[in-house]
C-alpha cells in the first residue's frame, strides 16, 4: 500500500476510529504509555499519533510531539489537545519513513500500531532510530508473528486482506529489529486477547561495544 492510499484509508477511519479500532486498542495503548516511566523534561515522539487518544496520558512535565500522515486523524488529535488543554503537545503532518527532525532529537520514540501499517517498516525503524538519542528508548506496541507455523500460515493468508485495511499481519519482531542498533530491554503481551506485543528497546547507536552487549 502506497502512502497516498494509506493516508486515504486512515483519513476515512478518522471519524469513527475512537468508537471502533480506538476503543478496542485503548487498553493496551494506555498500558504502554503508563509503563514508560517518563522523567521530567524528556522529549517524546509519538509516531502515528492518530486521533491522539494517548496524548492526555503523558505527564504534563514532558514535551510530546505527535506525527501522522493523515490530516483527518490530526484534526481529531488537535481537537483533543484543545479539549484537554495539553500545552506540552504539538502535532505535525509527516511521513514516518522520512521525518523532518534532526538526529538525536528525542529521548523516547513511541510507535503504537504503526510498524505493520506502513509501506516500508525498514525505513520507519531506521528513522525512529535516527531521531532517538543514543541510549534513548524506542517502544513499539504491535502485533508480531510469533513463529507458530500454523498461525504464521494463517497470518500470511489473511495479510493481503488486512493490507487493504491499512496493516499487515505476517511481520515478525526478528525481521523488524534485524540489522538495527536496537536491543530489546522488555517484551510482553498485552490485551486485548494478549495478541499485541509491547516491546521496549534501547537505542545503542554510537554506544561503546561493552554497552551494546549489556542490555
Q: Note whether residue 57 is domain-resident.
A: yes
Report the Cα 57 to chain-centroid distance in Å. 15
| Residue 214 binned pLDDT confidence (cut-offs 50, 70, 90) | very low
Predicted TM-score (pTM) of the model is 0.81
Q: Note whether residue 72 is domain-resident.
A: yes
Q: How far apart are CA 156 and CA 21, in angstroms?
A: 22
Q: Note whether residue 105 is domain-resident.
A: yes
More confident residue, 15 or 131: 131
CATH number of the structural domain spanning residue 200: 3.40.50.150
Q: Note whether residue 154 is domain-resident.
A: no
| Residue 20 binned pLDDT confidence (cut-offs 50, 70, 90) | low
Q: Note whether residue 165 is domain-resident.
A: no
Q: Note whether residue 158 is domain-resident.
A: no
* pLDDT tens-digit series, residues 93-145: 999 999 999 999 999 999 998 998 888 999 999 999 999 999 999 999 987 87
Q: Which of 191, 214, 136 is nearest to 25 (CA)?
A: 191
Range(s) of the domain holding residue 117: 3-142+174-205
pLDDT (0 to 100) of residue 128: 98
Mean pLDDT is lowest, of 36-50, 125-139, 147-161, for 147-161
Quote the number of domains for the chain.
1
Neighbours of 24 (CB within 10 A): 12
Cell digits of residue 192: 486485548
pLDDT (0 to 100) of residue 27: 77
* pLDDT tens-digit series, residues 61-89: 999 999 999 999 999 999 999 999 999 99
Q: Note whether residue 129 is domain-resident.
A: yes
Q: Note whether residue 114 is domain-resident.
A: yes
Amino acid at each position: 500500500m502506497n502512502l497516498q492510499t494509506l493516508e486515504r484509508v486512515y483519513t476515512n477511519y478518522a471519524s469513527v476510529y475512537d468508537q471502533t479500532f480506538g476503543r478496542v486498542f485503548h487498553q493496551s495503548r494506555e498500558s504502554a504509555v503508563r509503563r514508560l516511566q517518563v522523567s521530567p523534561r524528556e522529549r517524546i515522539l509519538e509516531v502515528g499519533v492518530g486521533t491522539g487518544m494517548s496524548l492526555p496520558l503523558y505527564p504534563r512535565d514532558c514535551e510530546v510531539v505527535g506525527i501522522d500522515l493523515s490530516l483527518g486523524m490530526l484534526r481529531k488529535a488537535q481537537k483533543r489537545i484543545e479539549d484537554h488543554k495539553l500545552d506540552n503537545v504539538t502535532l505535525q503532518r509527516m511521513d514516518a519513513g522520512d521525518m523532518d527532525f534532526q538526529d538525536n532529537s528525542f529521548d523516547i520514540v513511541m510507535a503504537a500500531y504503526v510498524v505493520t501499517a506502513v509501506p516500508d517498516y525498514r525505513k520507519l525503524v531506521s528513522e525512529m532510530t535516527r531521531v532517538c538519542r543514543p541510549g534513548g528508548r524506542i517502544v513499539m506496541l504491535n502485533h508480531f508473528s510469533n513463529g507458530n507455523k500454523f498461525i504464521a500460515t494463517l497470518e500470511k493468508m489473511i495479510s493481503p486482506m488486512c493490507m487493504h485495511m491499512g496493516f499487515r499481519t505476517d511481520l515478525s519482531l526478528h525481521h523488524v529489529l534485524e540489522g538495527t542498533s536496537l536491543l530489546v530491554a522488555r517484551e510482553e503481551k498485552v490485551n486485548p486477547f494478549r495478541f499485541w506485543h509491547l516491546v521496549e528497546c534501547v537505542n545503542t547507536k554510537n554506544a561503546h561495544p561493552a554497552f551494546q552487549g549489556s542490555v
